[in-house]
Amino acid sequence: MKIIVLKFGGSSVGTIERIKKIAGIIVGYKKKGYKPIVVSSAMSGNTNDLVKKSKAISYNFISSEYDVLVSAGEQISCALISGRLNHLGHKSQSWMSWQIPILTKGMYSASRIININKKKILDYIKLGGVPIIAGFQGINTNNRITTLGRGGSDASAIMCAKFFKAQKCIIYTDVDGVYTTDPNTLKKAKKIKIISYEEMLEMASLGAKVMQPTSIQDARLNRIDIEVKSSFVKKDGTKITKRKNVISNKIIRGISFTKNDAKVTLVGVKDKPGIAASIFEPLSKNAINVDMVVQNISADGKETDLTFTIKSEDLTKTQLLIKKNNKISFRNLIFDKNVSKVSIVGVGMIATPGVTYRMFKALAKKNINILVISTSEIKISVLINKKNISRAISALHKEFKLDK
Amino acid sequence: MKIIVLKFGGSSVGTIERIKKIAGIIVGYKKKGYKPIVVSSAMSGNTNDLVKKSKAISYNFISSEYDVLVSAGEQISCALISGRLNHLGHKSQSWMSWQIPILTKGMYSASRIININKKKILDYIKLGGVPIIAGFQGINTNNRITTLGRGGSDASAIMCAKFFKAQKCIIYTDVDGVYTTDPNTLKKAKKIKIISYEEMLEMASLGAKVMQPTSIQDARLNRIDIEVKSSFVKKDGTKITKRKNVISNKIIRGISFTKNDAKVTLVGVKDKPGIAASIFEPLSKNAINVDMVVQNISADGKETDLTFTIKSEDLTKTQLLIKKNNKISFRNLIFDKNVSKVSIVGVGMIATPGVTYRMFKALAKKNINILVISTSEIKISVLINKKNISRAISALHKEFKLDK
């Protein structure tokens, strides 16, 4: 059977007109000989409204009932999609997780799918039916409803693709794919036709909001090929697949950047073993995520400067925590909110020497000063002054031939 | 165990503030030593919104998915009530029909509960939990969601009272009980403290909108005592119970009336066997409900006059159906939209002769002309001119000592 998983996000089912449109997309695949398995999110806005209600009821809403509450929206969207397909003359039925069942484990609101019972769904498909499966939800061994956390419907789709051995898994959303960089910042940004899981993970965690990193990781672990595309316009999207499928002459796949970073520098820190741990311990305990870290070699063996980056919204708290930290001493504390991290991402850099040099040279040519550098296997990030973002991206986009 | 079933209608859980209030009511019963089983409707407006969506998707929405759609609201209200009880420190859990399960049979959107599995709920109650059960819904033997039709949450509550052998079943709503007649029409109307199922059925089908007749019938068949009261104000409500519990010196329990009836008279109908059937057959086929019917004895054995009442909204259609009915002939067709049916209801009339006479005399004293009469065991209805409604009700209310 040519099974295809079609996942529709909240904006793709956000109105009655949108639901009518995606019903047409589903019928299109059926006519091409595919057996579609549809996974749907709740209508956009619906879940947010339920979250708001939970907060009005209790500032500490019990998590088991929270999951019952916030999973109600998928029952509505799935019934409407199925109703529309029946209206068009196609056999279709909604499936809540308890009807399949989709078994999860882990905490409420952050559960993970461990099994999908295939029999009923496969029997239904064999009879010519189109199952509409509620995304984002499952049940646990206590027969209680669980949810999968942010981006949970993507995880549902990928697990359906895995368990039902789908030939394709298409994630329909409100963007038409992944771009070499943000098209709003650089007009020359091009849609990426194919990208590896690893590159996508680096792009996603750095700011590309197409899919949640956990779902990409699920897809990577299970070797599920994904296509991300728009349900609003009929265009090819972006394929996310394993590294060896990505044949390309591009060294760099894309450029991502942040806009809400802040740089913290402790000047003249007493250099002794464990000093970095002493600085970061209270930050970690307060859930402040430290990103880039640079420690200069101490010239005299006594004092050093330590620089790191955090999210801007954590700046006040960080300042406070450092000042009241009596395990460390330093001469001066410098903050800078006007910084941005720009990263080039690409599996091609593994096999290509000199990528770092080309990046630095391209920025130097534009007189853009690099404040901090950090690298991984398939990514090089630099911290620059925020005012230089556009010029930096433009220069790097050109340098690595992403314009073409 | 002192089990009590507490049912909350849509307006009783219509806002976050209302849900907080009814959580307080539930806790109150718990503190009195009761073991509450809560049955909830969806938040008011919620189900109507879903019905509207179904109509926008298809003018003929498939009934199996319609039930999935319109039962989503109860998941929300039950989770919120349970969330609030937990917030107040009381163990509580929502129960959808599939988790119990509540088994139904019959068509979608008009199913009836045939079994409620008691084990899980009773175990939960024994552990000190307050179960919040979704009203209006069940599952069928195919593991699909079904709904119980209009007033279905009342039916859920009554069936819970039956299966769990509840000591009490309280229906919380937005009115504070059943009145001797509509308080908006007659200020002297009094709240009825206790009423029999049979009287309530006659009152309900005649216009008292407190409970759906099918739920009252369910209660009657299963001998479930009900109390209808307001969740908005703290007051005694109305008890609905079996006839022998209703000790009262009142012959008449209440007066109900309609405002949207129309009278149709066929003058000079050819009197032959089966003529009435010929007149009513096309009306029946077009789902037009004929209420009161009077046929005068034909003086010459050749012609007769036939009068009947229908709902005003069916008048145009009825007119058309009679005119194009070639199985009948008549001299003249007369319509009157300015009519109202006034009924006195009470089990007391069975044992009391002369009730009909007293009713007619009371109306005659006020010069109110009676157009049509119809009687049942515990009800006498008369059709009068609509302009006389208030005066008729006032006269009858006084005649049968309902003022006191």
A164 with A263, same domain: the answer is no
pLDDT at B207: 59
Of B19 and A298, which is predicted with more confidence?
B19
Residues 6+ apart with CB under 8 A from B54: A80, A83, B61, B66, B69, B70
Q: What backbone torsions phi and psi does residue A387 show, to the nearest 5 degrees?
A: -65, -15
**Chain A contact for B69 (CB, 8 A cutoff):** yes
- Closest of B356, B156, B72 to residue A94, by C-alpha: B72
CA within 13 Å, CB half, A174: 11
> Helices marked H in B41-174 — which ranges?
46-57, 63-70, 72-87, 119-126, 152-163
H or E stretch including A279? helix A275-285
This complex has an ipTM of 0.85
| pTM as predicted | 0.86
Residues 6+ apart with CB under 8 A from A47: A10, A41, A70, A73
**Chain B contact for A78 (CB, 8 A cutoff):** yes
Residues 6+ apart with CB under 8 A from B154: B7, B135, B171, B211, B212, B215
Task: Choose, out of A40, A70, A76, A142, the residue to mutate when testing the contact with B (most B CBs < 10 Å).
Answer: A76
A28 with A154, same domain: the answer is yes
Residues 6+ apart with CB under 8 A from A89: none
Cβ atoms of B116 and B163 closer than 8 Å: yes
Residues 6+ apart with CB under 8 A from A230: A172, A173, A174, A175, A176, A177, A237
B95-98, long-range: CB < 8 A, 24+ apart: B95/B120, B95/B121, B95/B131, B95/B132, B95/B133, B95/B134, B96/A68, B96/B134, B96/B137, B97/B133, B97/B134, B97/B137, B97/B138, B97/B139, B97/B145, B98/A98, B98/A99, B98/B139, B98/B143, B98/B145
**Chain A contact for B50 (CB, 8 A cutoff):** yes
Residue of A nearest to B63 (CA): A83
A22 with A155, same domain: the answer is yes
**Chain A contact for B270 (CB, 8 A cutoff):** no
Report chain B residues whose CB lies below 8 A from the CB of A94: 65, 68
**Chain B contact for A287 (CB, 8 A cutoff):** no
Of A141 and B327, which is predicted with more confidence?
A141
Residues 6+ apart with CB under 8 A from B119: none
Report chain B residues whose CB lies below 8 A from the CB of A61: 83, 86-87
Of A56, A60, A69, the CB nearest to B79: A69
Task: Choose, out of A17, A48, A57, the residue to mutate when testing the contact with B (most B CBs < 10 Å).
Answer: A57
A148 with A289, same domain: the answer is no
Burial readout B79-94 (b: 16 or more C-beta within 10 A, e: otherwise): bbbbbbbbbeebebbb
Report chain B residues whose CB lies below 8 A from the CB of A90: none
pLDDT at A353: 84
Task: Choose, out of A17, A62, A78, A130, the residue to mutate when testing the contact with B (most B CBs < 10 Å).
Answer: A62
Cα–Cα distance between B249 and B263 in angstroms, integer? 35
Cα–Cα distance between B81 and B231 in angstroms, integer? 14
Cα–Cα distances in angstroms (integers) from residue A284 to residues A309, A318, A373, in the given order: 13, 10, 22
- Closest of B160, B78, B93, B103 to residue A144, by C-alpha: B93
- Closest of A189, A167, A170 to residue A180, by C-alpha: A189
B149: left (phi over 0), alpha (psi -120 to 50) or beta: left
Q: Which residue has the tokens 């995880």?
A: A155
**Chain B contact for A87 (CB, 8 A cutoff):** yes
- Closest of B352, B403, B404 to residue B378, by C-alpha: B352
Mean pLDDT of B133-139: 98
Residue of A nearest to B89 (CA): A62
Cα–Cα distance between A185 and A187 in angstroms, integer? 7
Query: Does residue A226 sit within a domain?
Result: no
pLDDT at B24: 97
Query: Does residue B233 sit within a domain?
Result: no
Residue of A nearest to B144 (CA): A99
Of B62 and A251, which is predicted with more confidence?
B62
Domain count, chain A: 2
Cβ atoms of A92 and A130 closer than 8 Å: yes
Distance (Å) from the alpha carbon of A62 to chain B's nearest alpha carbon: 6
Distance (Å) from the alpha carbon of A10 to chain B's nearest alpha carbon: 16
Of A19, A65, A143, the CB nearest to B57: A19
Query: Does residue A299 sit within a domain?
Result: yes
Cα–Cα distance between A80 and B53 in angstroms, integer? 8
Burial class (CB in 10 A: 0-12, 13-18, 19+), A119: exposed
Cα–Cα distances in angstroms (integers) from residue A362 to residues A22, A35, A380, A395, in the given order: 44, 49, 14, 6
A46 with A169, same domain: the answer is yes
Cα–Cα distance between B5 and A120 in angstroms, integer? 36
Q: CB A86 to CB B65 under 8 A?
A: yes
Give the residue numbers spanning the domain of B266. 257-399
**Chain A contact for B19 (CB, 8 A cutoff):** yes
Structure tokens at A87: 């209206």
Query: Does residue A218 sit within a domain?
Result: no
**Chain B contact for A101 (CB, 8 A cutoff):** no
Question: Three-state SS for B331?
Answer: coil
Distance (Å) from the alpha carbon of A144 to chain B's nearest alpha carbon: 8
Residue of A nearest to B143 (CA): A99
Q: CB B57 to CB A16 under 8 A?
A: yes
- Closest of B366, B362, B367, B369 to residue B384, by C-alpha: B369
CA angle, B396 then B399 then B404, to 5°: 100
Report chain B's mean pLDDT, rounded to a whole number: 92
Query: Does residue B285 sit within a domain?
Result: yes
A131 with A262, same domain: the answer is no
- Closest of B303, B172, B186 to residue B237, by C-alpha: B172
pLDDT at A25: 97
Which of A156, A174, A192 is at the close of a domain?
A174
B165 with B290, same domain: the answer is no
Cβ atoms of B177 and B191 closer than 8 Å: yes
Report chain A residues whose CB lies below 8 A from the CB of B99: 98, 143-144
Query: Does residue A183 sit within a domain?
Result: no
B170-227, pLDDT tens digit by residue?
999 988 889 999 888 899 999 999 999 999 988 876 656 778 888 899 999 999 999 9
CATH at B147? 3.40.1160.10
β-partners of residue B347 are none
CA within 13 Å, CB half, A270: 8
DSSP B380: E
**Chain B contact for A69 (CB, 8 A cutoff):** yes
Query: Does residue A250 sit within a domain?
Result: no
What is the number of CB-based contacts under 8 A between chain A and chain B?
111
Task: Choose, out of B19, B21, B55, B76, the residue to mutate when testing the contact with A (most A CBs < 10 Å).
Answer: B76
pLDDT at B124: 98
pLDDT at B352: 85
A202-260, pLDDT tens digit by residue?
887 665 677 888 889 999 999 999 999 999 999 999 999 998 888 777 889 999 998 88
Share of chain B above pLDDT 70, in %: 98
- Highest mean pLDDT, choosing among A193-207, B101-115, B338-352: B101-115
Cβ atoms of B240 and B216 closer than 8 Å: yes
**Chain A contact for B72 (CB, 8 A cutoff):** yes
pLDDT at B1: 84
Q: CB A62 to CB B68 under 8 A?
A: no
Tell me which residues of chain A, numbers 114 to 153, contact chain B at a CB-CB cutoff of 8 Å. Answer: 143-144
B162 with B261, same domain: the answer is no
- Closest of B115, B137, B157 to residue B9, by C-alpha: B157
Each residue's pLDDT expressed in tens, for chain A with a length of 404 residues: 899 999 999 999 999 999 999 999 999 999 999 999 999 999 999 999 999 999 999 999 999 999 999 999 999 999 999 999 999 999 999 999 999 999 999 999 999 999 999 999 999 999 999 999 999 999 999 999 999 987 899 999 999 999 999 999 999 998 888 999 988 889 999 999 999 999 998 887 665 677 888 889 999 999 999 999 999 999 999 999 998 888 777 889 999 998 889 999 999 888 777 888 889 999 999 989 898 988 877 667 788 888 999 999 999 999 999 999 988 889 999 999 999 999 999 988 888 888 999 999 999 999 999 988 888 889 999 999 999 999 999 999 999 999 87
pLDDT at A205: 64
B124 with B262, same domain: the answer is no
Report chain B residues whose CB lies below 8 A from the CB of A80: 53-54, 57, 69
B266 with B169, same domain: the answer is no
pLDDT at B351: 82
Cα–Cα distance between A17 and B346 in angstroms, integer? 53
Per-residue three-class SS string for A312-328: HHHHHHHHHHHHCCCCC
β-partners of residue B171 are B7, B228
Question: Three-state SS for A8?
Answer: strand
pLDDT at A260: 86
Of A50, A57, A143, the CB nearest to B99: A143
A166 with A310, same domain: the answer is no
Burial class (CB in 10 A: 0-12, 13-18, 19+), B141: exposed
Cα–Cα distance between A372 and A341 in angstroms, integer? 9
Cα–Cα distance between B250 and B237 in angstroms, integer? 19
CATH at A305? 3.30.2130.10
pLDDT at B250: 81
**CB count, 10 Å around CB of B42?**
29
A154 with A301, same domain: the answer is no
Query: Does residue B265 sit within a domain?
Result: yes
Which of A115, A146, A174 is at the close of a domain?
A174
Q: What backbone torsions phi and psi does residue B262 show, to the nearest 5 degrees?
A: -135, 145
CA within 13 Å, CB half, B331: 9
